[in-house]
Chain A
């Protein structure tokens, strides 16, 4: 009685479609059973992995782009948020600063993508003008039109939008640490750095797990930001293409649609997100 409406909706519009997508991924476009051929096509496609002639500018393919996203975006947003949370403890009106930083998190991500067009624009954008003023002409150009700067520009833009999350989570975490700990350490003459590595950071471990998991999910699933700033093709030559966008393009933009291959991309993406969250989910359910 209590479960019926929820289970009905979840079964029809979440659980069934998940399995149906796996089903679709096993068939070719003309309806013949194809086994794992679509998966092979995805992994073999230059859309997914494209490292021929490396080193070279992007595109490197969606899978490599995801790895780059995680490699740059995860440490930057995590430590920036943590550092800000620590610094803002001693600031009057810190809640206003946090609110300002957090606005990026409540802004529709598609508008986050549109914002990139303005920030990185060659003639009105603040970033190129900034590098122009520093005399770095190579970066004083429209970032979104060049493959080398496009991918990294979006990653940095995403750090700007997402840092609010790790800031808020770490701020909440810091309030759970009793003040005595720091006071005791101060009496003992412990250095600030030692204090951080030995006391604060270990005590924040639950928050770190949450931030890492949610941030990796954000990076793997990124879609709105990229399509808002570029196109269904993922910008010049696909230089900012990502898995979610690749799936969308195969299934809903290309004519004729390649639903089987698109479903295989979606399944890949789901496997990646499940691997990234498996341990955290166990931790969230246990209590």
Chain B
């Protein structure tokens, strides 16, 4: 009984996505009475073709932003996380606390100066501006996450290497980084999705230029650009959400570990 209930719930929970899929694959007049009405059923891929025309460049830009926007902060933050975990210096804990406090700041709090800085650097309306911004913005949470992970690692191996005369940097690359790989997997999944899904920073730094706008902004622009086409919007939405959903389905273990790791154990 409880099993039936649970499964019904799971299916019901997905209904909005089913509806979106129906709107993408079927002509709108066909689903006016509701997508569960199958009197006429003529699925077509036509809307996906128009959606790729409309937001294909945007999807490419999303990859161009999200891949470096994930790798750069991962590397930079692991260095800093290692520093916080293993070296003590005056004010260390205050500095760390400040970095962590920045994690809760809403994006709106930096939007106006960021916009002005990027204009000043002649980076407005470029993919690069979004890569830089996401790299910086992801740092506080990744530093916290990596610092906590690294401080839980046993110190003995590093100490032995130091005794053998290895430099701090060598210890970092040869010992700490390989041991941190499981945590980095979790970070990569979360940060990539976060950047991919971002809308606010993108609409600030690249509101209207097709050459830099990521898929989320390109999608919203389809609403205004043509006569409103629910089929096109639905097909485009499916394409844009496909990437994070597939990533989540494949790397679920890492995703959940990251999520739980930095909210609970963290």
Contacts and interface: CB of A to CB of B under 8 A. Distances in A.
A126 B260 contact: no
Interface residues of A, number: 89
Interface residues of B, number: 95
A41 B106 CA distance: 21
The secondary-structure label for the interface of chain A is helix
Contacts of B79: 2-3, 5-6
B187 to A, nearest CB: 14
B263 A13 contact: no
A125 B34 CA distance: 7
A182 interface: no
Interface in B183-209: 193, 196-197, 199-200, 203-204, 207
Nearest to B19: A118
A281 B112 contact: no
| Residue of A92, A101, A224 contacting most chain B CB atoms (<10 Å) | A224
A24 B110 CA distance: 11
Contact of A9 (B100, B136, B148): B136
A223 B136 contact: no
A264 to B, nearest CB: 11
B230 A101 contact: no
Interface in A85-129: 87-88, 90-94, 96-97, 99-104, 106-111, 114-115, 117-119, 123-126, 129
B252 interface: yes
A210 B264 contact: yes
Interface string B107-132: 11111111111000000000000001
A244 B139 contact: no
B79 to A, nearest CB: 5
B80 A224 contact: no
A146 interface: no
Given A2-B172, A110-B199, A285-B97, 17 more contacts: A5-B76, A5-B79, A6-B139, A9-B132, A9-B139, A13-B137, A14-B139, A17-B117, A20-B116, A91-B2, A97-B7, A103-B245, A108-B216, A119-B19, A247-B111, A267-B109, A276-B104
Would you list the 3 A-B pairs with minimal beta carbon distance, nearest first?
A2-B83, A13-B136, A17-B110
